[in-house]
């Protein structure tokens, strides 16, 4: 079975691109690849099955204020880390999004949290509580999520 990988380009800035005629930003075409890892690569690398999660958190409040570094660190410490104490990676980023109410395109400082974990029965509950908690605490419309099955070795 052929596999296609779609590269998520929504978080990458698009330089030197003219706006579409209707003044909405142009959406880049997905990048497709039929390259698949050899079926035995996980075994050769002594890697085990894993779920790779990327959570995308906006750092701007609806009123224009910012979520402070202290507030972010508290949320990370109190909400995310207890659910994934084995480890995670946080990256500062610049996100682009479309307001669901107004349709306005905006950018804002963001945090990407990358978690590699086993597919446990309570995984969906953990992720849902993190996303819901952040949206409620900081009045966010959404917390982005990308889920990829793979294999990992540490």
Q: Which tens digits make up the pLDDT trace of 72-130?
A: 999 999 999 999 999 999 999 999 988 888 999 989 999 999 999 999 999 999 999 99
As a residue count, the chain comes to 154
In angstroms, rounded to a whole number, what is the distance separating the alpha carbons of residues 54 and 117? 11
Q: Which pTM was predicted?
A: 0.72
Distances (CA, A) of 12 to 107, 111, 145, 153: 11, 14, 16, 28
* pLDDT beyond 70 at 27: no
CATH of 41-152, one of 3.30.9.10, 3.40.47.10, 3.30.70.120, 3.90.550.10: 3.30.70.120
DSSP 8-state code for residue 28:
P
The whole-number pLDDT of residue 63 equals 87
Pick the residue with more confidence: 4 or 118?
Answer: 118
In angstroms, rounded to a whole number, what is the distance separating the alpha carbons of residues 135 and 150? 28
Alpha helices in the chain (DSSP H): 41-44, 69-75, 123-138
Report CA torsion sign: 136, 142, 144, 149. positive
Q: Stretch 9-27: mean pLDDT, rounded?
A: 37
Q: Which tens digits make up the pLDDT trace of 67-83?
A: 999 999 999 999 999 99
């Amino acid at each position: 079975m052929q596999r296609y990988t779609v590269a998520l380009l929504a978080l990458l800035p698009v330089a030197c691109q003219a706006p579409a005629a209707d003044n909405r930003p142009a959406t880049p075409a997905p990048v497709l690849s039929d390259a698949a890892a050899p079926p035995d690569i996980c075994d050769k690398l002594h890697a085990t099955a894993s779920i790779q999660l990327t959570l995308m958190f906006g750092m701007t409040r609806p009123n224009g204020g910012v979520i402070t570094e202290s507030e972010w660190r508290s949320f990370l410490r109190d909400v995310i880390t207890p659910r994934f104490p084995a480890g995670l990676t946080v990256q500062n980023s610049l996100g682009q999004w479309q307001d669901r109410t107004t349709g306005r395109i905006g950018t804002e400082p963001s945090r990407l949290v990358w978690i590699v974990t086993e597919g446990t029965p309570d995984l969906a509950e953990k992720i849902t509580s993190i996303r819901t908690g952040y949206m409620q605490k900081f009045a966010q419309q959404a917390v982005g999520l990308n889920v990829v099955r793979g294999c990992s070795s540490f």
